[in-house]
Structure 1
């Protein structure tokens, strides 16, 4: 994947530069100019909201990020397409940067952990029941459903945020990226529908079904049970939805043709 190659190339350039400048006062010049820190606005260095993704705190962060990006990205991109994949990755990382700057700016942010989180959660949202093999401590293979990767990612990120651990990878940003990845593929129509989505869909289906009914069908299926309820418990026992049905019934009756008398 191109983004993986670009990430590896950027870290390679960073590693070579920092190695050549090792022991010199300018050793951390790349981090000073590209990492996202709390002085970005005061110093006018707005580019840091974009450039922090070019750096990584260390080889471990880089290797984990790019490996996860490759594994999840190669499954996600064929499903959503290259354009949507790029939006999930790039915007997820940018929002992660904003979240880190808002909540954890005391420590500089480097890397694409937020963008990788967005890709992982987008993938697990689309295929939540898919079984994937993870290696516990990079050794022991464990098969789990993809949806549990999201909860693991959110759990680890939350713990790091609360305990102020591994702040350079941006745990707050990872959570923001994860939320964006989830929301983006949901609006594309992937994943299991939310309760509110099911409610809206059911209401629309019911409204369409009632609209297709003839006046006779409507009276039999909808009005008669309500009239029976009124007879047994009084009109005050009706719910708002039942009162609306009665209003619809008046409209339906107006559609009924009046018989002509000779």
Structure 2
């Protein structure tokens, strides 16, 4: 096992430790998960990275770490240890930033998982290893990397547009594109010997991201996300969780105000809000 393999195992170890801490400690989980309001309103930018080390459950953690390990081994002889770390963290942040942009008006949107970073590692391997084949779970055959990459990008684009499931397609796509570009920065010769695969994957992915940034209305479709967030369709749990999150964020803001400016800076209404909350 090369240095990248050892580094990968260390990343997996950190993921396991942080994820299990999140499984047991809800406050820890909520503080470090990807949360739009937490990032935009409270400037908790560490969430862009920390969310990549939290997972929903053991199965989510297992499959992400399994994919990370297998694809990392194929990069052992084509990237330096520093380059591998750059691909991992750039992909993680890239996926988080795309999610933040697409959900910037959905204050209650949250996400967790290393999928953006793992996608970046997978697509770095596809870019730098022309003959790579990808094995799919429960299928007795492997598909060429270029075919997997194209299907993955198209499926991610469809998933972002339709939002028919709870998968973070935006983080996957953002991580994949950033991971591939970062890998090419360290190994630009790959554009010469693997240009067709790289262009077939990068062009539709980057074009879609560009169109979404320039024309955000492209995402305004009648999808599951908007249906679930329409007030008339909220379940009792949705309403309770939404109210709880709003209340907690309001209290956090008041406590931060006290910390910076003192108790006297609060208005009568704000003091009453604190008093009412202390009785809950």
Structure 1 and Structure 2 fold alike (TM over 0.5)? yes
Q: Distance in 1 between matches of 2:164 and 2:77?
A: 35
Cα pair 1:125 1:190 within 8 Å, conserved = no
Decide which structure has the larger Cα Rg and report it.
1
How large is the RMSD of aligned CA atoms in angstroms?
2.1
Q: Distance in 1 between matches of 2:165 and 2:154?
A: 14
How many aligned residue pairs are there? 181
Residue 69 (structure 1) aligns with: 68
Residue 16 (structure 1) aligns with: 24
Q: Distance in 1 between matches of 2:133 and 2:122?
A: 14
Cα pair 2:23 2:29 within 8 Å, conserved = no
Question: Does structure 1 residue 91 correspond to structure 2 residue 90?
Answer: yes
Going from structure 1 to structure 2, the CA distance change for 1:31 and 1:6 (only over 3 Å counts) comes to closer
* Cα distance, 1:48 vs structure 2: 1.6
Residue 179 (structure 2) aligns with: 181
Residue 113 (structure 2) aligns with: 111
* Cα distance, 1:82 vs structure 2: 0.9
Residue 28 (structure 2) aligns with: 30
Q: Distance in 2 between matches of 1:37 and 1:16?
A: 19
* Cα distance, 1:190 vs structure 2: 4.1
Residue 121 (structure 1) aligns with: 123
Q: Which segments of 5 or more consecutive residues in structure 1 lack a partner in the other structure? A: 18-27, 196-262
Q: Distance in 2 between matches of 1:43 and 1:192?
A: 41
Higher alpha-carbon deviation: 96-105 or 82-91: 96-105
* Cα deviation 1:162-190 (Å, max 9, x = unaligned): 222444x5311211111112212223224
1:1-262 matched pairs, under 5 angstroms: 1-17=9-25, 28-39=26-37, 40-105=39-104, 106=106, 107-132=109-134, 134-135=135-136, 138-167=137-166, 170-187=168-185, 188-193=187-192, 194=195
Cα pair 2:61 2:113 within 8 Å, conserved = yes
Residue 247 (structure 2) aligns with: none
Give secondary structure in 2 for the equivalent of 1:98.
helix
Q: Distance in 2 between matches of 1:59 and 1:74?
A: 23
* Cα deviation 1:208-256 (Å, max 9, x = unaligned): xxxxxxxxxxxxxxxxxxxxxxxxxxxxxxxxxxxxxxxxxxxxxxxxx
* Cα distance, 1:86 vs structure 2: 0.3
Cα pair 2:22 2:29 within 8 Å, conserved = no
Q: Which segments of 5 or more consecutive residues in structure 2 lack a partner in the other structure? A: 1-8, 197-280
Cα pair 1:95 1:173 within 8 Å, conserved = yes
Q: Distance in 2 between matches of 1:46 and 1:186?
A: 27
What TM-score, normalized to structure 1? 0.63
What TM-score, normalized to structure 2? 0.59
